[in-house]
Structure formats: C-alpha cells, structure tokens
Amino acid sequence: MKKLFLLAVVGMLLLSACGAVADDASHTDGEGVEAHDFWARAALKDGTSAAYMLLHNHGTEDDALIGASSDVAASVEIHLSKMNADGTMEMIPQESVALPADGEVELKPGSYHVMFVGLTKDLNVGDEITLTLDFEYAEDVTLTIPVMDAADMGGSGMDGHNTMP
C-alpha cells in the first residue's frame, strides 16, 4: 500500500512539472488553458527578448490569448513575425491569438511569440523569469520560464528580435 501511495505521489509530481494549468471559471467544462515547453531567449538589459511555448485550450469553447505581463520588461506584447516579400522579417503586434476549442497553438520563433520590450535586467541562460498570460475566458496562467540560448532551442536568432542593445 505504501508503494502504491508513493507511486501516486511521484506521478502527480511528474505531471505537475509538465506545464501550468489554470481552471477556467467562465466555461462550463472548467478545463482551462495549459502551457507546455515554454522558454525565453537570453538577452541583455534594455534590449528585447521573446518567450515561446505551446498553448492548449482544454475547453469546449474557443478562447484567445489577449495579453501578458512580467516584471522583467517595461512592456510585454504579443507579436507575429512575418517574412515580407523582400526577405525582411516584420513583427506585427497582435491584439490576440486565437485558441480553438480543444486545440493547440504554438508560439515559436518566426511566428507568434510573447515579446519583452525594454528589459529591466539581463536574461542569462539558466535564469528563470515569471510570465503571466491573460486569456479572454480562461483564468490567467502564471509560468516560471527558463531562459535558454535560442541556438539550443532551434531558433536561428533571425526572427526579428535584436537581443543586443
């Protein structure tokens, strides 16, 4: 019996490490939005950085990421990187990112991302930062995000973010 209890506790700990979930009080199913595989780019104070992740809407109704906040930047915005016909990358501020019912949206280099503008401190590889995501219907989700080297995460560093001041 003790082994079964210990196994259950270990299983719960492993599952809790997989992502952050917020209960969704406005949906009838109460499932919420979950974030997976989150990370942020290393960058220097006064510069910019970005956070990436996979968002899963467990609800039966569409939702949307409508904002974000963090104490590591003067402002936090949602952006879409888009390649122009002339080969230059453009970052387009977004009012929201749609999250389909029981669907996923990936925030990744060269696409949707959370942008940190005016960093208040250096973001060094190995640091952790706090990011709160705001949704149209689901409750806010607060994440503790590891800072990583973009090259190690498949990011080329060419998605329009200048990590140098």
Asked if residue 107 has pLDDT above 60, the reply is yes
Which segments within 17-150 are labelled E, that is strand? 20-21, 33-41, 48-57, 63-69, 73-83, 89-93, 97-99, 104-107, 112-119, 128-135, 141-148
- Assign 153 a pLDDT band (cuts: 50, 70, 90): low
Under CATH, what is the fold of the domain 21-153?
Answer: Immunoglobulin-like (2.60.40)
Of the chain, the percentage scoring pLDDT greater than 70 comes to: 73
pLDDT tens column, 28-51 = 344 799 999 999 999 999 999 999
The 3-state DSSP class for residue 86 equals: coil
- Assign 159 a pLDDT band (cuts: 50, 70, 90): very low
Asked if residue 122 has pLDDT above 50, the reply is yes
Residue 139 near residue 24, CB atoms below 8 Å: yes
Q: State the pLDDT at residue 46.
A: 97
Q: State the pLDDT at residue 151.
A: 79
Q: State the pLDDT at residue 22.
A: 40
